[in-house]
Amino acid sequence: MNKQYVILIYLLIFAVSAVISAPAFGSEGKNVFINKCGSCHKAGGEAAAFAPTKYASTQWERFFQRSKHKRKKDISAEVTEADIAAVKIYLINHAADSDQPEAVGLR
Amino acid sequence: MKTAFRTSIIILILFTFTGLSFASGDTVSREEFMKVINELKTQREQDSNTINKLSEEIETLKNTKKTTVDNSDIGVLKEDVEELSELMMEIEKKTLLDRVKVTGDLRTRMDWFDYKDDSTGHEEEVHALGSTRFRLLLKSDITENLKFTGRLAMHKNWNDSNYALGSSSFSRSRARTDEDLKVERAYVDYFFSLHEKLPMALTFGRLPNTDGLPTNLHEDTPRRSTFPGLAYDNEGDGVALSLNLDKLTGLPGSALRLLYLRTNVDNSGDDDTIGGTANDDIYLNNENHFKDAQSFIAQLETGFPGRLSGTTFMLNFLMLNPFTNVDPQQFEDAGLSSPTNLPNQLGDIWKLTAYIQSERFLGSNFDWFAGFAYMRTDAEKFSVYSIGTSPILTVGLNTEKKRKLSAQAFHVGMRYRIPWEIMNNAKIGIEYNRGSKYWQGFNGSSEDPLNKLNTNGNVWDVYYIQPINKHLMLRFGHTMVRNHYNNVPIFAPDRVDEKITNTYMLLDAKFY
C-alpha cells in the first residue's frame, strides 16, 4: 500500500483513540454558558439573554473579581466554583474585544 | 414617685391577703406571712436591678455620638456626581466618535528553501530568508446593521524593497514585495431581511476571500475567509449576497452565499481610431491584455448542533466564464512569437469543492478537516504555439489536444491541542494534500511561499504552535512538496520530478 496512505491511516487511528480517551480542554465553559447560564438568560426567561460580546474582556474580569452576579442573584447553589472558572474563561475568550471570525455576510 | 407607687402596691397586697384570709375565716400563720414578704422583697430587688441596667443603657445611648448628614455632605456628593457625569459624557462622546477600531499584527519569519529536480539533477537553495509582514486590521460597527471590515498589509523580504514576484491583482498584498501598505480586504456588510425567517446580508468591496480554511488552524485564529482554501484563495473585488438559513433549517450557522467577481476589459492594442475596438478613451489600463473575465461562486455552509458544535460543512461551486481571453500582444511583450490560430477565448472552468472542518471534535482536543475538489475545464479550442515552424507548446486551457479535461484534489489534516497547562495551550498539526495532473488551485493569494494547494503531486506539512502569551506566538513548520507536473493554465502540463522543501520559524505579535 502507498506509504503515505499508511501514515494517514495510523494518524487517523491515533486521532480516534485520542478523541475517545483524552479529556476536553476548554470546551466546558461553552457548555456551562449554554446550559446553565442559558437556563435563565434567555428570551422570556428570568433574566435577559446576552452574548459574550456584551462586555470587553477587562469588564468580564472585573465582573467575576467583584462577584457582581451576587448583587442580582446568588447562584452559588446552582453552579460550582469549577463552572464559574470555566465560564469566565469562555466569556473572556469571546468578549467584545476578542478576535472575531470574518467572511461575507457573517455577523 | 415610682418607689411610693411600689410601696403602696405591696401594702395593698398585704391588706388584700389579710382581708381574704379573714373573709374566708382562715388565719395566716406568721411563717407563711414572712414567706410572702420575703418573696416580695426578692422581686423588688430584681426589679431594682433591671431598672438600674435600663438606666445605664439609656445613659450610654445618650452619650453615643450622633451621626447626622448635614447639608455640607450632600453638597460634596452632588459635586462628585456631577464631575463623574461630565467625565462619562466625554468618554461616551469619544466612543461615539471613534468609528473605526484599529488593531494589527506583526510577523517576522525565517525560511529555508531547498529545490531539486530529480529528472535534470538541478538543485537550488535559499537559506535564512527573513521576511516581515505588518497588517492593520480595521473594524467598524457603523450601525447595528452596517459593518465595515478592512485589512491593510505590507509584506516584504528583509532589506529588499523591490523584489518583484510578478504579483497580480489577485495577490498584491500577499506577495513579498516592498514596504507599501496595500489593501487586502475592505468590505461592508449590510444586514437586512425581507422575511423574518430569512435574514440576509449584502456585501460589497474587496471581499474576504483570502486565508481560506484551514488557514485558521495553523495561524491559530478564527475563520478569516469565506471559502475553503482548496476552493478559492485570491484577493478579489465584487459583491455577495448571503442568506441566513438558521431559522429555516434549524442548523446553526447555515447559509447560502452567492458571489460575483469580475475582471474588466483591458485595452487590446493601441487602436485609437474612430470605430476601432480599443477602449482607451474610457478605460485606460493596458497592462495584462486580459479581456473580460467573471467568476460566479455559490457556497452552501452549515454548522451542527449539540456535540458536533464547532463543526462546519461547506459545499462550494465556482465557475470562471470564460477563464481568460488571450491577447497575442502578451506573447510579443514577452519577446515571443505569437501562436498561430490562437483561440479568441480559452474556455470555461468550473470546480466543485466539499469541505468539512471540526474544532474540538466531540469536545476533545482534536481539530480536523477534510476537503475534496473536482474540476472541469472546457476549452473553446486549442492551438499549437510555435516559433517559426517548430511547434513548442499547445495553448488552450490545460489541453493536450482535448476539449474537456477533469482534475481532482484533496486536502486533509488535523491539529492537536496539547492538554498540559505548562505548555500554555501549545498545538501540533499535520496536513496532506494531493492534486492531479490538470489540477488548478485558484489560490494565488496563499501566503504559503510554496503555494502547496496548487501542487500537481503530493504535499506533507507539519507545524508546531507555541503561544507565549495571548498576544505572542511562535510557530515552527516543515513543508515537503513532490511535484509531478508543471501546470500553467493555458499550456499543456509538463512532466517534472521536483522536490521542494520549506522549513520555517515565525514569531507573531497580535495587537488585539
Q: Pick the range with the lowest mean pLDDT from A62-66, B249-253, B331-335, B495-499.
A: B331-335
Q: B280 to chain A, minimum CA–CA distance in Å?
A: 34
- Which three-class secondary structure string do you get for B198-235? EEEEEEEEECCCCCCECHHHHHCCCCCCCCECCCCCCC
Check CB contact of B346 with chain A, cutoff 8 Å: no
The confidence score (pLDDT) of residue B512 equals 80
Check CB contact of B242 with chain A, cutoff 8 Å: yes
CB-CB under 8 Å, B417 with A102: no
Q: Pick the range with the lowest mean pLDDT from B135-149, B158-172, B356-370.
A: B158-172
Closest residue in chain B to residue A5, using alpha carbons only: B432
Q: Which residues of B touch A103 (CB under 8 A)?
A: 208, 223-226, 257
- Which three-class secondary structure string do you get for B120-159? CCCEEEEEEEEEEEEEEEEEEEEECCEEEEEEEEEEEECC
Which residue among A22, A23, A104 places its CB closest to the CB of B240? A104
Interface A–B counts its CB contacts (< 8 A) at 90
- CB < 8 Å from B in window 30-69 of A: 30-31
Band the pLDDT of B94: cuts 50, 70, 90.
confident
Could you tell me if B44 and B5 are in contact, meaning their C-beta atoms sit under 8 angstroms apart? no
The confidence score (pLDDT) of residue B148 equals 96
Residue pLDDT, tens place only, B466-505:
999 989 999 999 999 999 998 766 667 888 999 999 999 9
| Max avg pLDDT among B13-17, B29-33, B267-271, B411-415 | B411-415
Residue pLDDT, tens place only, A40-86:
999 889 999 998 988 888 899 999 999 889 888 888 888 899 999 99
Closest residue in chain A to residue B511, using alpha carbons only: A99
Which residue among A22, A25, A105 places its CB closest to the CB of B189? A105
The confidence score (pLDDT) of residue B393 equals 47
Residue showing cell 464631575: B83
Residue pLDDT, tens place only, B111-144:
999 999 998 899 999 999 999 999 999 999 889 8
User: How many residues does the structure list for chain B?
Assistant: 512
Interface test with A, best of B140, B258, B299, B364 (most A CBs within 10 A): B364
CB-CB under 8 Å, B259 with A103: no
Distance (Å, whole) CA B512 – CA A98: 7
